[in-house]
């Protein structure tokens, strides 16, 4: 009966559920920047939509007044939300920078 | 992350319905003395199932044509349960007036609701200040 | 079709009803006019009762084109009502009244008077007034709806 030496286990043979994927800081930054750019895109789209509806209203084209008002409200609220989030993020950053080393 | 819940979409569709209904009722009442005119109505369900004017052509160049879905309303139908008087006119003035009052109240209610929701969102964003 | 479509519809109805009232008042004013027009024989003919013919004002060519292209929706809403013509009433005969002293009496002493029936004109006038008032109510309702939608988000 031969005694085999212990081989190290190949991590790839382990089932995927057992191997934890480590999230590196660069990954986290990438995810966050993706979310940020998506949100800014959304804000931009809302503003453009509201502008388009307002232009249609001015030209007297096929649009309802309540649609214009609702679109403008949505754009304004989206913008306000993003501004508040930005303020909070900047505040958090400043808080961290103020921490004594 | 959806900032505006489904309620907003439904409220918008309800407002669209009220707006079209108002136009149709105006047309009916305007033609209350026209011979051989049959009253029109708006199908509630069709409007609520899909919103209007949402068909936009995907263009690869800005010089391409868009779809013009301007004046067609698939949910506007001719009423089928009318009685008509001696000159063939099928508009019941009292019914149209009461429908218009109903529509007004419906529109006001939805408008107030959507206003309330916008205001609560705004106060949340402002942080209660 | 702008936000004011409904108001334009209603105002076209108001115009049509007002025109109808004008025609009715013309009829009532001329209830005794024996010398309205000269016919082919060179004789005076009395005033013939006029009436309006109304028809719905459908939207123009572009709407039909769009309906054909999109192949959905068999109705556009329409743009109101218009008076297509003012026609004279050829069917009812003139009234014949015996009055030999009248300058327009014929050989038998009968005068042809216009075929205007005041009772019928009054009923028409009431109907036109009722339609006019209904349309004014519709206009006010439209206006209040637009003002309400302006307040969304205030």
Q: Name the residue with higher pLDDT: B114 or B43.
A: B114
Element (H, E) at C88: strand C81-88
Please write the tens of the pLDDT for every residue from C35-59. Answer: 888 888 888 889 999 999 998 887 6
Say whether A93 sits in a helix, a strand or coil.
Answer: helix
What are the structure tokens assigned to A38, written together?
Answer: 């998506």
Query: Does residue A37 lie within any of the structural domains?
Result: yes
Q: How many domains does chain A have?
A: 1
Q: Is residue A5 part of a domain?
A: no
pLDDT in tens, A7-62: 776 666 666 555 566 777 777 777 888 888 888 899 999 999 999 999 998 888 88
Across A8-12, B28-32, B69-73, B76-80, least confident range: B69-73
Which H or E element spans position B16? helix B6-30
Distance CA B99, CA B124 (A): 38
Residues of C in contact with A62 (CB under 8 A): 1-2
Q: Using CA atoms, how far apart are residues A78 and B121, in angstroms rounded to an integer? A: 10
Per-residue confidence (pLDDT) for residue A27, from 0 to 100: 78
Structure tokens at C146: 């637009």
What does the mean pLDDT of chain B come to?
79
For the stretch C123-134, pLDDT in tens is 999 999 999 999
The C-alpha R_g of chain B, in whole angstroms, comes to: 19
Assess B112–A contact: CB distance below 8 Å, yes or no.
no
Nearest to A77 among B114, B125, B127 (CB): B125
Which has more pLDDT, B69 or C33? Answer: C33
Ranges of H-type helices in chain A: 25-59, 65-97
- Residues from chain C contacting residue B27 (CB–CB below 8 Å): 9, 56, 77-80
Question: In angstroms, what separates the C-alpha of B1 from chain C's closest C-alpha?
Answer: 22
Q: Which helix (H) or strand (E) holds C70?
A: helix C61-70
**Domain-embedded: residue A75:** yes
Domain around A73: 25-98
Q: Is the CB of residue B51 less than 8 Å away from at least one CB of chain C?
A: no
If we measure between CA atoms, which residue out of B31, B25, B24 comes closest to residue C84? B31
């Amino acid at each position: 009966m031969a005694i085999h030496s212990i081989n190290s286990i190949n991590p790839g043979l382990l089932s995927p559920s057992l191997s934890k994927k480590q999230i590196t800081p660069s990954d986290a930054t990438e995810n966050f920047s993706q979310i940020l750019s998506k949100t800014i895109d959304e804000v931009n789209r809302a503003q453009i939509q509201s502008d388009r509806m307002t232009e249609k209203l001015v030209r007297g084209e096929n649009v309802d007044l309540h649609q214009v008002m609702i679109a403008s409200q949505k754009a304004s609220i989206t913008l306000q939300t993003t501004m508040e989030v930005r303020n909070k993020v900047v505040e958090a950053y400043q808080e961290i920078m103020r921490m004594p080393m | 992350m959806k900032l505006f819940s489904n309620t907003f979409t439904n409220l918008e569709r309800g407002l669209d319905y009220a707006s079209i209904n108002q136009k149709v009722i105006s047309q009916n009442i305007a033609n209350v003395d026209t011979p051989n005119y049959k009253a029109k109505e708006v199908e509630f369900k069709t409007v609520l199932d899909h919103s209007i004017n949402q068909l936009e052509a995907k263009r690869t160049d800005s010089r391409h044509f868009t779809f013009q879905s301007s004046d067609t309303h698939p949910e506007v139908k001719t009423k089928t349960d009318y009685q008509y008087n001696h000159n063939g006119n099928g508009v019941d003035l009292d019914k149209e007036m009461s429908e218009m009052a109903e529509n007004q109240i419906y529109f006001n209610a939805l408008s107030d609701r959507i206003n309330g929701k916008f205001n609560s969102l705004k106060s949340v964003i402002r942080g209660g200040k | 079709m702008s936000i004011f479509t409904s108001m334009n519809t209603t105002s076209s109805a108001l115009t049509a009803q007002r025109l109808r009232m004008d025609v009715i008042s013309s009829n009532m004013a001329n209830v005794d006019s024996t010398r309205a027009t000269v016919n082919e024989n060179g004789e005076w003919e009395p005033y013939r009762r006029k009436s309006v013919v109304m028809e719905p004002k459908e939207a123009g060519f572009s709407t039909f084109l769009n309906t054909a292209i999109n192949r959905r929706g068999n109705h556009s809403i329409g743009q109101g009502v218009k008076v297509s013509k003012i026609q004279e009433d050829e069917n009812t005969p003139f009234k014949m009244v015996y009055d030999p002293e009248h300058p327009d009496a014929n050989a038998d002493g009968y005068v042809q008077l216009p075929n205007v029936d005041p009772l019928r004109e009054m009923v028409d006038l009431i109907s036109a007034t009722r339609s006019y008032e209904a349309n004014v109510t519709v206009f006010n309702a439209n206006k209040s709806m637009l003002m309400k939608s302006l307040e969304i988000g205030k």
